[in-house]
Amino acid sequence: KPAYQNLRQKVDNFVSTHLDKQEWNPAMNKNQLRNGLRQSVIQSGMLEAGVDRIISQVVDPKLNHIFRPQIEKAIHEFLAAQKKEESVPAPPPEPENKDPPAPSQDAS
């Protein structure tokens, strides 16, 4: 949780600083201001770095003892099902119906 709280604090500070630099007037387009802020946050790289820290703090410790066994179990079940399908003999092919050729109709 500290990595999330740290990231949130950084983003909050960044947004506050960014908005403090903007001079507000009622004629401003809020969507343009919002999109400009969003682009600034993305370009700063703080989200990417913060998310990487969250993953390393939250996901990585669980990787080997929670996720890996579940993944291995799913793989084993899938492979067992594949092997079972291969061991079941395929039904014999159906004989092809060969219709006798239709009599030709010659116009005499």
What sign does the CA torsion over 80, 83, 84, 85 have?
positive
Q: Quick check: pTM over 0.85?
A: no
- Give dist(CA 8, CA 12) in Å, integer: 6
Domain segments of the chain as ranges? 3-86
- Give dist(CA 106, CA 108) in Å, integer: 6
**Tens-binned pLDDT, residue by residue, of the chain (108 aa):** 788 898 999 999 999 998 888 887 888 888 888 998 999 999 999 989 999 888 888 888 888 888 888 999 999 999 998 888 777 666 666 666 655 566 666 554
What sign does the CA torsion over 26, 27, 31, 37 have?
negative
Helix, strand or coil for residue 102?
Answer: coil
Q: Are 50 and 6 in contact (CB under 8 A)?
A: yes
